[in-house]
Structure 1
Amino acid sequence: MSKTFLLSLLCLSLDGFVLSGANPPNVILMMADDLGYNDLSCYGSKRQKTPVLDKLAAEGLRLTSFYAGATVCTPSRMALLTGAYPPRLGWNGGVVGYGLKPHNGLAPQARTMGEVFKEAGYKTALIGKWHLGDTPELHPMGQGFDLTYFIDKSNNQTKKLWRGRELEADPFDNRRLTENFIKEAVAFVKSNKKNSFFLYLPFSAPHFPAQAHPDWKGKSANGSYGDVVEELDGRIGDLLKVLADEELEKNTIVVFMSDNGTEPGQKKWGSGEPFRGLKWSALEGGTRVPCILRFPDLIPAGEVTDKLTTAIDLLPTLAGACGIKLKKGPGIAPKLDGLNLWASLQGKTKTHPRKSLLYWHGWAMPQAIRVGDFKLYLDKVKEIPATNKGPVLIDLSTDPGEEKDLASEHPEKVKDMKALAEKLLSEIEENSMPLGGPARKGERKTGHWLK
């Protein structure tokens, strides 16, 4: 073997990241629960202060056209972890414990982000809210995570806190869940500082009931909701400080996002402005959420992008950033809908791979498609009365509130977008897999103007 070949192995370049004997990048993927687009001060909030996440955005990239994987908890997590649209995974509406039986969830056969990183030699952890099935078969231990510390449903649905297969607390103290999750995350990072690690950290905050930690109660100007958001921000600061103290900061990709928009019962305190729509809705406010990405020296600092990006893109994008080649072919399920956007988000390409996005209501009705700046509604949506008469076309670049129908002005665009939606939905139906757990029947759902 030549010296030149050996040297090339030692200096393997991974999309601009040169290993030179160092560990591949660590990844920390954080997700808030029901945090609206306008709930961070770096996204315009005047109700609560989030200096830690503001600083993270200043040191990295802030995305303004980022979409969660779905408009409710369970399918959003399915999409994030697998890189696939939720209906491809058998989802037919609702969340585990509400519309979806607790013994159903993400199929163990589905490839997850945890498995991808574990197979690449990473130490992996799931710390936080799982919400992808309640049975031992559907718990996260079988989905590629070495360490698990979690609640298996939303904080209003369960009082059980698990460590692996052992019950850690029953009941847990809802006020202290963020504190508990961050303590576990800090311990995981410190114990794996010499290894490459993947930490999936889906918080339960600020999902209702938003109950302030005693040390944070009354600190915000937005009631308990604001207290919980400000605590979340502060606790994330504790975790980021550990990265700096352990000299891991420059070799760790940090992502922060939300799983969907504001919960309807919290709209007094949470906000998706300037967008309309809440959790469960296919309007922009239902899935368009904050997302911040930091990787020092590789991701431009202090920049803002409106490039269309979704949670399903994070699996291929993060894998690509870490030099992991995703397997394809027979036996790999689900089929990937996500795209590797790493080079584009670094500003290295003239074109952006993601051109379109499908939207479903929280009960799995396909309702819209976005192509570029245009969004076409293909179902009747109560918040948009014109959808009772036909498809409605919105230009999101000039109409974020989705008020003006432009369908009559662009009939060819309506025709093309409708045809693309039909093609994509048909392919998803033909190449889907069943939910995990007992078989269940699900009716095919079609937007009114697709029938």
Structure 2
Amino acid sequence: MGSCNFKKQDPANKPNFIIIFTDDQGYSDVGCFGSPNIKTPHLDKMASEGMKFTNFYAQTVCGPSRAALMTGCYPMRNARNDNGDVPHPKLSLSEITIAEVLKPVGYKTGMIGKWDLAGHNPEQFNPNLLPMHQGFDMSFFTPTSNDSRVHLLRNNQLIEKNTDMSTLTKRYTDEAINFIEKSSEQPFFLYLAHTMPHTKLAVSDAFKGKSEGGFYGDVIEEIDFNVGRILAKLKETGLDNNTYVIFTSDNGPWWIKKDHGGHAQPLRGAKTSAWEGGLRVPFIIRAPGKVPAGKTSDLVTATLDMLPTLAQIAGAAIPKDRVIDGLDISDIIHGERTDLDRPFFYYQHHVLRAVRKGKWKLHLPHQPHSTSIVYKKWPIHSAPEDRVLFSKYMLYDLENDLGETTDVSADNPEVVTELVKLLDWAKEDIGHLETRGINAGPLGTEPYFTPNDIIPVKEKSKQ
């Protein structure tokens, strides 16, 4: 496509947004975030030309993290088209996504990759909750995770069963580049949610065995290469100076057998946990002439903040009929502000586990007899030393104890008191365990299915 002539957008017009969202990529699985053996030259350059955030939070598992990103709300607050007893939400059509916020002000919207907001089983998902019903003009995606297999859809049509997963990173990027080319005359929002490095891991032959970081490193280095392809396409199409590109991950890495899981060091914990390694993820944002180059922010920020922030930059309105937990951090991104004092709440599915404010993080006492999946099944996904149940509040000073090794609650009773008040507020307003908060959206069991919309996917994987 290099010979094509593209009509450039007027930089005075609304900017474009691209969110590249990887799956289970750990905090230190990027060179500029400390990886010793995984080479990510394109992401490192992106950080040098933009900003990286070192205290940026997602959620602790796939579906809730995508819900938080799309809606700007803690997942416990989201309205769901299910009874709320499974971790991965079927996001209600009453929720308003980033795409739905941007479309009224002229944005073309595209979703490519992993959706995971209409059901987590590749054979049992709700077709009426797919991207085209949540504000996206085009989509090329898999509705669920790749735990065993991947089926691909374009808009609302199944186009391929049991896809070769080693082709996904490149194919998603090909689709993203095609979307950018076709959208070069109007503002656009592209949500590119890579399937990798969620297991089953897969990588193309061009990257197999190339990384010093092993098989997992191969997968990350292929993602990095394809980030480079997108950045190059923006330059080729004349869109580079009018596009915000964001790179981050949906949660921390799997604690899994060698060579298949990622890395969160120096953070403690991994995916599914409420330790820092479960929710703190790498975040890079680049927009030449808008985001200052080579800067690092240590402010507490989150995927929750993307909806109000992109809305502010685009001149779009955020919903006024519901609570939005995210904050507009556009002035921080643009280097105009260097302070932010806000709490962040750590949820595992529907269980409130901790709160952070400033340097302090307070974990709640655990409820070992709860029937929640968080207590019954999720501990196996953490290292044995991270499965400990707390019998009391545990306070950590993240500024001086990033690895959450030493409880300092006895020395700081006033801090514990302050943070307990925040936790009590979250339980009442957002929710905890079986109690949904006073400002949480409703649960529902109405399936939204219509016979003509159901996509039959019955063929078993041959992988």
Q: Which range, TM-score by smaller chain? A: 0.7 to 0.9
Partner of residue 390, structure 1: 392
Identical amino acids, percent of aligned pairs = 40
Contact 2:81 2:91 in 1 (8 A): no
Tell me which of 187, 193, 210 is aligned to 1:219. Answer: 210
**For residue 380 of structure 1, what is the amino acid of its counterpart?**
H
C-alpha distance in 2, partners of 1:174/1:141?
Answer: 23
C-alpha distance in 1, partners of 2:445/2:244?
Answer: 34
Partner of residue 64, structure 2: 75
Partner of residue 243, structure 1: 234
CA RMSD of aligned residues (A): 2.3
Partner of residue 461, structure 2: none
Residues 94 and 238 (structure 1 numbering): CA distance in 2 closer, same or farther, change over 3 Å?
A: farther
Contact 2:365 2:391 in 1 (8 A): no
Question: 380-389 or 216-225, which moves further after superposition?
Answer: 380-389
Once the two structures are TM-superposed, the CA of residue 364 in structure 1 deviates from its matched residue by: 2.5
Once the two structures are TM-superposed, the CA of residue 372 in structure 1 deviates from its matched residue by: 0.5
**For residue 369 of structure 1, what is the amino acid of its counterpart?**
V
SS at match of 1:235: helix
Matches for 1:7-406 after TM superposition, within 5 Å: 22-68=12-58, 70-90=59-79, 99=86, 105-133=90-118, 134-265=125-256, 268=259, 269-329=261-321, 333=322, 335-349=323-337, 351-352=339-340, 354-361=341-348, 363-380=349-366, 383=385, 388-406=390-408
SS at match of 1:168: strand
Contact 1:122 1:195 in 2 (8 A): yes
Contact 1:25 1:252 in 2 (8 A): yes
C-alpha distance in 1, partners of 2:390/2:318?
Answer: 43
SS at match of 1:426: helix
Tell me which of 434, 441, 457 is aligned to 1:433. Answer: 441
Contact 1:107 1:437 in 2 (8 A): no
Question: 423-432 or 270-279, which moves further after superposition?
Answer: 423-432
Listed one character per residue, the Cα deviations across residues 102-124 of structure 1 (whole Å, up to 9, x for unaligned) are xx600011000011111221000
**For residue 53 of structure 2, what is the amino acid of its counterpart?**
L
C-alpha distance in 2, partners of 1:130/1:160?
Answer: 12
Contact 2:99 2:109 in 1 (8 A): yes
Contact 1:108 1:436 in 2 (8 A): no
Contact 1:377 1:387 in 2 (8 A): no
Please report the TM-score for the alignment, with normalisation by the length of structure 1.
0.86
Partner of residue 408, structure 1: 410
- Structure 2 residue runs of 5 or longer lacking an equivalent are 1-8, 119-124, 368-383, 431-436, 448-463
**For residue 411 of structure 2, what is the amino acid of its counterpart?**
E
Tell me which of 409, 417, 420 is aligned to 1:418. Answer: 420
C-alpha distance in 2, partners of 1:44/1:231?
Answer: 18
Once the two structures are TM-superposed, the CA of residue 135 in structure 1 deviates from its matched residue by: 1.1
Once the two structures are TM-superposed, the CA of residue 325 in structure 1 deviates from its matched residue by: 2.7
**For residue 360 of structure 1, what is the amino acid of its counterpart?**
Y
Once the two structures are TM-superposed, the CA of residue 437 in structure 1 deviates from its matched residue by: 4.8
SS at match of 2:256: helix
Once the two structures are TM-superposed, the CA of residue 417 in structure 1 deviates from its matched residue by: 0.6
Residues 401 and 147 (structure 1 numbering): CA distance in 2 closer, same or farther, change over 3 Å?
A: same
Residues 392 and 436 (structure 1 numbering): CA distance in 2 closer, same or farther, change over 3 Å?
A: same
C-alpha distance in 2, partners of 1:92/1:247?
Answer: 42
C-alpha distance in 2, partners of 1:192/1:142?
Answer: 20
- Structure 1 residue runs of 5 or longer lacking an equivalent are 1-18, 440-451
**For residue 370 of structure 1, what is the amino acid of its counterpart?**
R
C-alpha distance in 1, partners of 2:409/2:388?
Answer: 10
Once the two structures are TM-superposed, the CA of residue 385 in structure 1 deviates from its matched residue by: 8.6
